[in-house]
């Protein structure tokens, strides 16, 4: 199986499909129709998140010559497209999808999953990934890190 396909199945697919399904199954989820605002906002967030996730995967492959997975990480630092705005646009896309799922399915448990996923990623990026990127890309990553925020864009 190609590395990019394996990375998609193991990481974002599990996070956005398999784990939410298991959460709903274990919690004996019963669908309550959300209000129209939730549905519309959820659809917008889902489309945005899917677009962002796909865009970042394409950039990892074409510019970075790698995948989103740590075991097949990009060989080159990617600072184009959404990476000019935040350092972790892939996770931003996945968080948007998870939030959309919680809104559209009207599930507080899926919302809790999104929060847990965000907290775990904050810890992982701060303790591990950023140090690995600094070791791998050196000054280039350090300068990028100084200019581009981790999660929340700086608008001038």
Contact by Cβ (8 Å): 82, 148: no
Q: pLDDT tens digit string along 2-21?
A: 776 777 677 899 999 999 99
The pairs formed by 63-69 with CB atoms below 8 angstroms and a separation of 24 or more are 66/3, 67/3, 67/4, 67/7, 68/7, 68/8, 68/11, 68/12, 69/3, 69/6, 69/7, 69/10, 69/11
Report in angstroms the alpha-carbon separations of 81 from 44, 58, 85: 20, 11, 8
Under-70 pLDDT residues of the chain:
1, 4, 8, 156
pLDDT at position 4, please?
66
Torsion of CA 32, 37, 38, 40, to 10 degrees: 110
Q: Note if the pTM is more than 0.85.
A: yes
Distance CA 117, CA 11 (A): 12
């Amino acid at each position: 199986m190609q590395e990019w396909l394996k990375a998609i199945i193991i990481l974002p697919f599990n996070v956005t499909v398999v784990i939410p399904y298991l959460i709903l199954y274990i919690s004996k989820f019963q669908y309550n129709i959300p209000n129209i605002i939730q549905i519309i906002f959820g659809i917008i967030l889902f489309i945005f998140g899917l677009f962002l996730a796909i865009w970042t995967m394409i950039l990892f492959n074409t510019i970075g010559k790698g995948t989103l997975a740590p075991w097949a990480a990009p060989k080159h630092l990617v600072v184009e497209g959404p990476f000019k705005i935040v350092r972790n646009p892939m996770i931003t896309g996945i968080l948007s999808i998870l939030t959309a799922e919680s809104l559209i399915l009207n599930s507080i448990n899926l919302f809790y999953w999104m929060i847990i996923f965000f907290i775990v990623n904050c810890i992982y990026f701060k303790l591990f990934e950023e140090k690995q990127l600094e070791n791998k890309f050196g000054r280039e990553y350090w300068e990028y890190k100084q200019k581009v925020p981790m999660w929340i864009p700086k608008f001038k």
